[in-house]
Amino acid sequence: MNHSVLRIAILGAESTGKSVLAAALAVHYQTIWVPEYLREFVETHQRTPYANEQYRIAFTQREREAAGALRAHRLLFCDTSPLMTAIYSEHYFGHVDDQLVTLAARHDYAATIVTAPTMPWVADGLQRESDAVRQCVHARLIRALQDAGIAYLLVDGNVQQRVAEVARYLSVCLPDNDT
């Protein structure tokens, strides 16, 4: 992985604008972003993943981050992380396998951004269940970040407001990166 590129995790429950924010930040910083592999998995297989596929999905996400870091300019915006895969595994399957626990614990991002679950919930075929699930997953995410001692910025508002919030945050938490 290109260590001069800083990876920024964009986390959040379903239908909270992670992908839109990651794409907008990539444009703002003239770099690239890594889409969520789970979406591709679901579209390709026409189903949600099974418990035994969770680690492979998270591992593939990290592989794509590594490939993206080779092409990124200064920052790489990552639409999700293995931590989200672990949270969803716990939510849907009641457990997280040991390999995924280990991968999720390696939360080695330069900054973590969490998208608030305040925009209108939109059904999205196989991947999105309900606003109630979205709120539950958001609460689990915040608890997991706090338990792990991971600093994060919670962003809300429209895309432009979120980009501005992230830009201010990154200029403070990554001052040597000329953000």
For residue range 47-78, what is the model confidence (pLDDT) as tens digits? 989 999 999 999 999 999 999 999 999 999 99
Residue 65's alpha-carbon distances to 47, 69, 108, 172, in angstroms, are 24, 6, 12, 24
Q: Is the pLDDT of residue 178 over 60?
A: no
- Nearest C-alpha neighbor of 7 from the set 85, 67, 71, 69: 69
Report whether pLDDT(160) > 70. Answer: yes
Partnered with residue 76 across adjacent β-strands are 7, 32
Pick the CATH number of 6-177 from 3.40.50.2000, 3.40.50.300, 3.30.420.40, 3.30.200.20: 3.40.50.300
| 3-class secondary structure per residue, 23-63 | HHHHHHCCCEEECCHHHHHHHHHCCCCCHHHHHHHHHHHHH
Secondary structure letter of residue 125 according to DSSP: T
Predicted TM-score (pTM) of this structure: 0.92
Cβ neighbours of residue 163 closer than 8 Å, sequence gap 6 or more: 21, 24, 25, 28
Q: How many residues appear in the chain?
A: 179
Q: What is the pLDDT of residue 1?
A: 46
Return the domain boundaries, the chain: 6-177
Nearest to 155 by CA among 8, 7, 4: 8
Paired strand residues for 33: 77
Q: Is-contact 12 85, C-beta < 8 A?
A: no
pLDDT digit string, tens, across residues 7-29: 999 999 998 999 999 999 999 99
Q: Quick one: pLDDT at residue 131?
A: 84
Per residue in 95-146, pLDDT tens? 999 999 999 999 999 999 999 999 887 776 655 578 888 999 999 999 999 9
